[in-house]
Amino acid sequence: MNVATTKKVHNYSAGPCILPQEVFQQAAQAILDFEGSGLSILEMSHRSKPFEAVMAKAQGLVKELLGAPEHYQVVFLGGGASLGFHMVPLNYMKVGGKSAYVNTGEWATRAIKESKLVGDTQVLASSEDKNFSYIPKGFQVPADVDYFHFTSNNTIFGTQYKQFPKSAAPLICDMSSDIFSRPVNVSDFALIYGGAQKNMGPAGATVYLFDPERLGHTGRKLSPMLDLKNHGSKESMYNTPPVYAVYVSMLTLEWIKKMGGVQAMERRNAEKAALLYNAIDRLPLFNGTAAVEDRSVMNATFVLNDAALEPAFDALWKEAGISGIRGHRSVGGYRASMYNALPIESVQVLVDVMEHFAQKNA
Ligand SMILES: *Cc1c(COP(=O)(O)O)cnc(C)c1O
């Protein structure tokens, strides 16, 4: 079923973002009548059998799609990846211990700030000198830190790790904006976490996928709400989980599986990114802002060489039904977010607009 092409709006929003059309239909139906129960999913106990099945399925799909080891655990919490920035040092940095980070942009900067609140935090490398337009390479992760944290995809600046850094220390990654966009070797990571709203579902849930054996060694007493080990052992039901966000995430994960899993997503995403970056490079009117080798497959950032042309370009893409491609204020220009659910047809529409605009302004 190709429902995507029936969409009239080509949604490039950076997050919350496009989800599959069929997910919206199922999600809407579940609000009216969840699986024929006569109840809305919004009025059911999170302890009810049907919702427990939703949670188990969502957790199982996270592990299955990413090929996680059997003993890894999955929890869905509120608070966004931003709360994760604080939970990471609380749960992984020993009292009197150390952490290490790489600074690749706004979200990494915030993660570092939260770690500094908890303890000794080393910033091994940063790309701030060039407005975060590249991924620093060649740094060494010291073996004596309690963990090493990085941000796999920099949503705002349009850069992405093509190869993950090597680390003798436990590896922790904020994958908010490229989780489920490509295969990853989960057993390399102590923790992968991310806000759902960029590639997995709606806002309101944050996914944590972790090795429980790595938890509980800091010597720090934690509030149960901030304790990942607690949430893991309580099956993500220590308190009321964000039920609807978990449900819609589950539907999206089912869609990914049906489409062929993260391998298929990787192929689709590579095709979309190639189509757009090719236009950016081919048309002299446009310039990509990220270093070519570090370009994100998810968020393509670019500018018009002559900013005076922006109003005319804006009018053209709006007329074509394109939405959400204005760049983040810290980069300017444009950002086309091409998450899993964005069909290649939408990218073709944008490329056609760019070509048409280039011809008119040649
Ligand atoms: C959006 C984003 C965040 C912040 O997520 P919230 O869920 O809004 O807290 C963190 N990291 C990355 C990479 C992001 O793209």
With 60 as the cut, is the pLDDT of residue 97 above it?
yes
The overall average pLDDT reported for the chain is 96
Is residue 86, in this structure, part of any structural domain at all?
yes
Retrieve residue 130's tokens: 């060039």
| Maximum Cα interatomic distance, the chain, rounded to a whole number of Å | 65
* Ligand 1, atom nearest to 154 Cα: 13
Segment 5-22 mean pLDDT: 88
With 60 as the cut, is the pLDDT of residue 163 above it?
yes
Same domain, 49 and 194: yes
Among candidate residues 259, 293, 309, the one where a domain is terminated: 259
The pLDDT confidence band at residue 6, using thresholds 50, 70 and 90, is low
Name every protein residue with a CB atom under 6 angstroms from any ligand 1 atom: 15, 80-82, 107, 151, 155, 174, 176-177, 195, 198
CA torsion sign for 58, 59, 60, 66 is: positive
Peptide bond before residue 224 is cis, with ω within 30 degrees of 0:
no
Contact, 333 vs 21, CB < 8 A?
A: no
- Let me know if 252 is exposed, middle or buried by CB neighbors in 10 A (0-12, 13-18, 19+): buried
Is residue 49, in this structure, part of any structural domain at all?
yes
Retrieve residue 123's tokens: 């910033």
User: Which protein residue has the closest C-alpha to ligand 1 atom 7?
Assistant: 80
Query: What confidence tens digit (pLDDT) does each residue in 220-267 have?
Result: 999 999 999 999 999 999 999 999 999 999 999 999 999 999 999 999
Query: Which CATH number fits the domain that encloses residue 244?
Result: 3.40.640.10
Same domain, 93 and 239: yes
Same domain, 252 and 275: no
The pLDDT confidence band at residue 362, using thresholds 50, 70 and 90, is confident
For residue 358, give the nearest of 270, 272, 287 by alpha carbon: 287
Same domain, 142 and 284: no
Q: What is the pLDDT of residue 48?
A: 95
CA torsion sign for 277, 281, 282, 283 is: positive
Q: What is the pLDDT of residue 55?
A: 98
Query: What confidence tens digit (pLDDT) does each residue in 315-355 have?
Result: 999 999 999 999 999 999 999 999 999 999 999 999 999 99
Q: Which of 5-19, 98-112, 206-220, 229-243 has the lowest mean pLDDT?
A: 5-19
Q: How crowded is residue 204: how many other Cβ atoms within 10 Å of its Cβ?
A: 21
The residues facing 328 across adjacent strands are none
Q: What is the pLDDT of residue 2?
A: 43
With 80 as the cut, is the pLDDT of residue 159 above it?
yes
Counted domains in the chain: 2
Same domain, 52 and 135: yes
Q: How far is the CA of 1 from the centre of ligand 1 (A)?
A: 31
Q: How far is the CA of 176 from the centre of ligand 1 (A)?
A: 6
Same domain, 329 and 222: no
For residue 190, give the nearest of 102, 121, 88 by alpha carbon: 88
Q: How far is the CA of 84 from the centre of ligand 1 (A)?
A: 9
Query: What confidence tens digit (pLDDT) does each residue in 282-321 have?
Result: 999 999 999 999 999 999 999 999 999 999 999 999 999 9
Is residue 9, in this structure, part of any structural domain at all?
no
Residue 67 belongs to domain spanning? 23-259
